[in-house]
Amino acid sequence: IMSIPSAVYTEPQIGSFGYSEERAAATGLDFGVANFPFRAVGKAVATGKAEGMVKILYEKTSRLLIGGHIAGDNAVELVHQLLVAKAAGLTIDQVGKLVFAHPSMSEGIMEAAKSASGAAIHI
């Protein structure tokens, strides 16, 4: 269940998987949250679709992904990139080192991951 995505086809879209902050806290996990707003993503601004954000939850010790939540343009498509990273066993830091096309909405994922270590580029 933790790797099955959910999709909400509203405007903006919502794509998510795994733990929410509330559920992670309730289970006693030691977790971190990395966020990045689409208003700081070049393609989102250029296309007028800057509403929304990327949120990644990760386990603090292992730095492995435990949840991903995206609200915004094409969120349902974007969340699969986080699911692939989780399935591959990538840490939040490794996701932040991936190269994403520029400009693209996917850059929000890289920026959110980089923010976990205080290294976001565009904010």
Looking at the domain assignment, is residue 42 inside a domain? yes
Residues 25-49, mean pLDDT to the nearest whole number? 97
Q: What is the pLDDT of residue 120?
A: 72
pLDDT above 80 (res 78): yes
pTM: 0.95
Name the domain count of the chain.
1
Q: Does an H or E element contain 22, and which?
A: helix 21-26
Owning domain of residue 16: 6-115
Looking at the domain assignment, is residue 110 inside a domain? yes
Q: What is the mean pLDDT of the chain?
A: 96
Looking at the domain assignment, is residue 66 inside a domain? yes
Exposed/middle/buried for residue 93 (C-beta within 10 Å: 0-12, 13-18, 19+): middle
pLDDT above 90 (res 32): yes
Looking at the domain assignment, is residue 109 inside a domain? yes
Looking at the domain assignment, is residue 78 inside a domain? yes
Q: What is the pLDDT of residue 30?
A: 98
Looking at the domain assignment, is residue 121 inside a domain? no
Question: Looking at residue 76, which CATH number applies to its domain?
Answer: 3.30.390.30
**How does pLDDT run across 38-60, given as a tens digit for each residue?**
999 999 999 999 999 999 999 99
Q: What is the pLDDT of residue 121?
A: 77
Assess whether 80 carries a catalytic annotation: no
Looking at the domain assignment, is residue 123 inside a domain? no
Q: What is the pLDDT of residue 2?
A: 87
Looking at the domain assignment, is residue 64 inside a domain? yes
Q: Are 114 and 120 in contact (CB under 8 A)?
A: yes
